[in-house]
Chain A
Amino acid sequence: MIDKTVRTMAEAMEGIADGATVLVGGFGAVGQPNALIDGLIEQGAKDLVIAANNAGVGHTGLARLMELGRVRRIICSFPRSSDPVVFETLYRAGKIELEIVPQGTLAARIHAAGAGIPLFFTATGAGTKMAMGKETREIDGRTYVAETALHGDVALVEAWEADRWGNLTFRRSGRNFNPVMAMGAKLTIVQSQHIRALGEIDPDHVHTPGIFVNRVLHVPYGDPSGF
């Protein structure tokens, strides 16, 4: 019997190694796998590369992980937030590396990793400093920039519903990066608000098929709040 559900946070976090690249879903406060990020803080892996849209807010979650000196490099599109104090302090002090990636390119690079596409061309960033040092190619009169797949060792994802095969649904704008991150990593760990019996999720309504998921932890925390 396949059962991807795990009972404890320690089981969910098992095997995340120092130096791992961790893809983190969420946009704003919605769809953020906050419990899993706290679990990673507790678990202790360090020298991490984090790929997420933002670089953390306040002193909790990703910001806390960075504040503890556990993140070597952050790959994101928008390091600013309502309260980016931790990231900005570390960045000014030269204690964290930053790789800025246009938001669509970030999603496309992770999707490419999940889809077996090592390299692709995009018009985004052509003629800007984002293209510096990258291969460009003219196709039908337009200039495109080569971008590479961004592979995760681990993905942290928040879902609305999950079953023991790892089939997932997401809620409203909580979907955002979550299905993309789920595809792009070798080990995808999900926190889900609801656990459904196998077959209970209508197959037509599955957003992320279980093949992209390795572990599911039940975290019924309720509604997101604050940004």
Chain B
Amino acid sequence: MSATAAARPLTRTEMAARVARDIPEGWYVNLGIGIPTAVADHVPLEREVVFHSENGVLGMGPAPAKDAIDPWLINAGKQYVTLRAGGSFCHHFDSFAMIRGGHLDLCVLGAFQVAANGDIANWATSENDTAPAVGGAMDLAAGAKRLWVMMEHTAKDGSPKLVRQCSYPLTAVGAVKRVYTNLAVIDVTPQGFVVRDMAPGLGFAELQARTDAPLADGRDLG
């Protein structure tokens, strides 16, 4: 299943920019650790999107310059960050009330697998994982108003990550609304996966061949 010569998968940076394009001004957004963190770099500062971090930071700005690091200001990925004007701090219970109480407009997470019914598996790759680390993933997946996933379309061994049923332990049931991969943008609907956008030069049959669950072509529906 090699790609046709014309197909060009999106780079990580292009994926981040593609997700950022769909985030409107005014949304409160949590970006998961890993690939999703880069989305913030593609939301222009004049578009006021308020980024939240689990450790009690609301209104995160870009990474600081090396000579302007505040050692008291980190994000959930334990990276140094800045705070925008209008930003605020709170404790962990309030921070997770924002998440669990449905106050976040959007959470973007990475995932190992997403099923056609919106199930997500992103915290453990085996029932017998020695010491799985869940962090805030289950709270975010269950609590945000909408959950988008950002991930490679297939695993490193080529196996599909968009599946009929997750084989890995679930993070949340029926939570995912949209998936952004390096090959496509796919909505999760009551009828299953619906393709909204595809990487340049990629054929629909080729995309389906890299996807376990059936895809509907919804590109005309926008």
Contact = CB atoms under 8 A, between A and B. Distances in A.
Given A78-B133, A98-B131, A124 B92 contact: no
Interface string A71-105: 00000011110100001100110000010111111
Nearest to B77: A28
A196 interface: no
B172 A91 contact: no
Interface of B: 53-57, 70-76, 78, 83, 89-93, 95-96, 99-100, 127, 130-139, 142-143, 169-174
A8 interface: no
B134 A122 contact: no
Nearest to A184: B93
Closest 8 CB pairs of A and B: A104-B96, A127-B173, A104-B139, A172-B72, A103-B136, A102-B138, A28-B78, A107-B92
Contact of B96 (A108, A175, A223): A108
Contacts, number: 145
Given A30-B55, A102-B139, A175-B91, 8 more contacts: A78-B134, A104-B54, A104-B139, A108-B96, A108-B100, A122-B100, A124-B143, A180-B93
Contacts of B100: 104, 108, 122-124
Interface of A: 27-30, 55, 77-80, 82, 87-88, 91-92, 98, 100-105, 107-108, 110-111, 122-130, 143, 170-180, 207, 223-225, 227
B190 to A, nearest CB: 15
A127 B115 CA distance: 14
A89 B13 CA distance: 37
B91 A177 contact: yes
A77 B134 contact: yes
A102 B134 contact: yes
Given A27-B92, A103-B139, A124-B100, A129 B169 contact: yes
Contacts of A88: 130-131
A84 B199 CA distance: 39
A125 B138 contact: yes
B136 A28 contact: no
B122 to A, nearest CB: 11
Contacts of B92: 27, 103-104, 107, 176-177, 180
A102 B136 contact: yes
27 contacts: A77-B134, A78-B133, A78-B134, A78-B135, A88-B131, A91-B131, A92-B130, A102-B137, A103-B54, A103-B135, A104-B96, A107-B93, A122-B100, A127-B174, A129-B127, A171-B72, A172-B70, A173-B72, A173-B74, A176-B56, A177-B91, A178-B91, A179-B91, A179-B93, A180-B91, A180-B92, A227-B78
Contact of A224 (B55, B71, B93): B71
Nearest to B91: A179
Contacts of B133: 77-80, 100
